[in-house]
């Protein structure tokens, strides 16, 4: 790069002059760069808007199933906590249920005779396992022979343990003599999963196993039993799932043996969990409004404009969202969350006095009101809880996923989807067009940069030529001055 210096002859600050001239010439380039910066800022703002829109969609997805509105909580007395626990699903029915565990489920178990060593050799023979016909497992016979991988207590336990339907291990009782015993038990609890054992020795060397008689300890498999609302019920496991719709009781101990009376399980609709989900949706919607308002401003003093000011695309999206949350979702027929088609009359609920209660078909009727001055939603939890308790099916119909546009949730989700779909959504299309504008403007900036560089080089060349002319003129002036100067006389 050539070294350039300001005018030595002319005394002009050529660098400063050229910089000022270049700056003036670069005004179109500066305007282009400003426009690119604005478009980048707008694209970033659209990305944020897309994220906020997606949050609204996600919040609706969390409440689009009937089960989301049928979250129940259970409460049991402290006296019952050692004997059973309780949980619910969406099909539960609120109420009080009396529960007493009267018998715990057990696995069928055979504990064979005592043996001196865990690796004591077993006499050659056959070991048969026959299952109850209801167990669903296949009977089998295992041959025990010298040199096989099942001819001592531990290896036999391992071989049995590999079979379907049973579990086996060696028990160390800790006794001073013959402390080891082979244990074989059913994989599953319940009276249908019992089995019998038969060992027949054919060899003479080693230890015999007794599968019957007084030397064998037997725990017979049994079902768990309980009384729920004074009705006797049983289960192959310690979990009762079918006794009460949507209520699961897990037995932990035998109340009857402990002398503990039946205890009440209180099942109630968990309104708080549903309320929190509606609040999440409300907040997600309001975040969009806050973001839009913050970027749709104009400062009359400074002239500063928000990035969304005058943007009809964003304005239309926000207006459509406002219309969706303010709309009454109603028609001559309406399919509720249970799939039942109801006309306007059958949708009506009645209060305790038999008076007809109009259906809930708008957010404003369930404690989610639209504030026209702020454009935001206001969620009143107390009003929502009252509406949910009195007209749960209507609220479920408003939010449960349906193909009909009579569901607020479906309509709102469909609207937001048109905005946020990758590549083809409204926001993605706008960002693609904006990006193309940026690319086109960047090409213009590049051309201007080349043009300005050429202009600067031309100016430097012209000033350099001027300096040469001035230098030559100065040299000629000096020569002529010296030539015509009076000569001194001697």
Write the DSSP string, 355-371: -EE----SGGGGTEEEE
Average pLDDT over every residue of 264-286: 92
Q: Which of 222, 248, 280 is the last residue of a domain?
A: 222
Average pLDDT, the chain: 86
Domain span holding position 238? 72-104+225-269
Q: Is the confidence at residue 401, as pLDDT, over 60?
A: no
Is 483 contained in some domain? Answer: no
Is 469 contained in some domain? Answer: yes
Q: Contacts for 484-488 with beta carbons within 8 Å, 24 or more apart?
A: none
pTM given for the model: 0.61
Judgement on whether residues 381 and 439 belong to the same structural domain of the protein: yes
Is 366 contained in some domain? Answer: yes
Is 490 contained in some domain? Answer: no
pLDDT, tens digit (0-9, with 9 covering 90-100), for 127-169: 999 999 999 999 999 999 988 999 999 999 999 999 999 999 9
Judgement on whether residues 306 and 210 belong to the same structural domain of the protein: no
Judgement on whether residues 230 and 205 belong to the same structural domain of the protein: no
Is 488 contained in some domain? Answer: no
Domain count of the fold of the chain: 3
Is 18 contained in some domain? Answer: yes
Judgement on whether residues 172 and 42 belong to the same structural domain of the protein: no
Judgement on whether residues 66 and 76 belong to the same structural domain of the protein: no
Is 61 contained in some domain? Answer: yes
Q: Is the confidence at residue 353, as pLDDT, over 70?
A: no
DSSP state of 461: H
Judgement on whether residues 374 and 345 belong to the same structural domain of the protein: yes
Is 425 contained in some domain? Answer: yes
Judgement on whether residues 96 and 168 belong to the same structural domain of the protein: no
Q: Which residues contact 251 (CB under 8 A, 6 or more apart)?
A: 83, 84, 101, 104, 105, 224, 226, 238, 239, 240
Q: Is the confidence at residue 108, as pLDDT, over 60?
A: yes
Candidate ranges 183-197, 351-365, 450-464; pick with highest mean pLDDT? 183-197
Judgement on whether residues 316 and 447 belong to the same structural domain of the protein: yes
């Amino acid at each position: 790069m050539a070294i350039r210096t300001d005018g030595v002859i002319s005394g002009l600050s050529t660098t400063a002059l050229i910089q000022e001239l270049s700056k003036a010439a670069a005004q179109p380039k500066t305007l282009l760069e400003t426009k690119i910066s604005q478009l980048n800022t707008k694209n970033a703002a659209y990305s944020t808007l897309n994220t906020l829109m997606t949050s609204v969609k996600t919040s609706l997805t969390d409440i689009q199933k009937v089960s989301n509105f049928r979250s129940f909580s259970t409460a049991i007395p402290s006296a019952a906590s050692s004997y059973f626990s309780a949980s619910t699903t969406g099909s539960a029915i609120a109420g009080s249920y009396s529960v007493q565990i009267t018998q715990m489920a057990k696995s069928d178990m055979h504990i064979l005779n005592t043996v001196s060593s865990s690796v004591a050799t077993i006499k050659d023979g056959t070991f048969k396992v026959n299952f109850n016909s209801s167990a669903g497992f296949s009977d089998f016979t295992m041959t025990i022979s010298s040199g096989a991988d099942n001819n001592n207590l531990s290896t036999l336990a391992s071989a049995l343990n590999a079979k379907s339907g049973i579990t086996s291990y060696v028990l160390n009782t800790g006794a001073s003599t013959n402390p080891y015993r082979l244990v074989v038990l059913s994989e599953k609890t319940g009276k249908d999963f019992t089995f019998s054992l038969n060992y027949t020795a054919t060899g003479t060397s080693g230890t015999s196993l007794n599968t019957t008689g007084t030397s064998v300890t037997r725990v017979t498999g049994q079902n768990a039993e309980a009384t729920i609302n004074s009705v006797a019920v049983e289960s192959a496991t310690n979990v009762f799932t079918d006794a009460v719709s949507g209520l699961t009781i897990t037995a932990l101990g035998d109340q009857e043996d402990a002398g503990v009376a039946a205890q009440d399980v209180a099942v109630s609709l968990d309104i708080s969990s549903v309320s929190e989900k509606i609040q999440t949706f409300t907040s997600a919607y309001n975040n969009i409004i806050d973001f839009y308002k913050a970027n749709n401003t104009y400062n009359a003093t400074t002239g500063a404009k928000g990035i969304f000011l005058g943007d009809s695309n964003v304005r239309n999206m926000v207006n459509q969202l406002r219309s969706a949350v303010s709309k009454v979702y109603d028609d001559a027929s309406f399919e509720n969350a249970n799939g039942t088609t109801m006309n306007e009359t059958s949708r009506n609920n009645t209060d305790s006095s038999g008076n007809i209660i109009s259906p809930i078909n708008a957010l404003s009727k369930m404690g989610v009101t639209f504030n026209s001055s702020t454009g935001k939603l206001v969620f009143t939890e107390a009003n929502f809880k009252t509406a949910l308790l009195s007209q749960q099916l209507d609220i479920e119909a408003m939010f449960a996923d349906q193909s009909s546009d009579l569901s607020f949730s479906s309509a709102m989700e469909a609207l937001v989807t048109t905005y946020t779909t990758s590549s083809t959504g409204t926001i993605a299309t706008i960002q693609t067009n904006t990006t193309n504008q940026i690319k086109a403007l960047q090409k213009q900036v590049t051309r201007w940069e080349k043009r300005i560089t050429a202009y600067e080089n031309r100016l430097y060349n012209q000033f350099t030529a001027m300096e040469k002319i001035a230098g030559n003129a100065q040299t000629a002036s000096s020569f002529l001055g010296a030539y015509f100067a009076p000569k001194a006389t001697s």
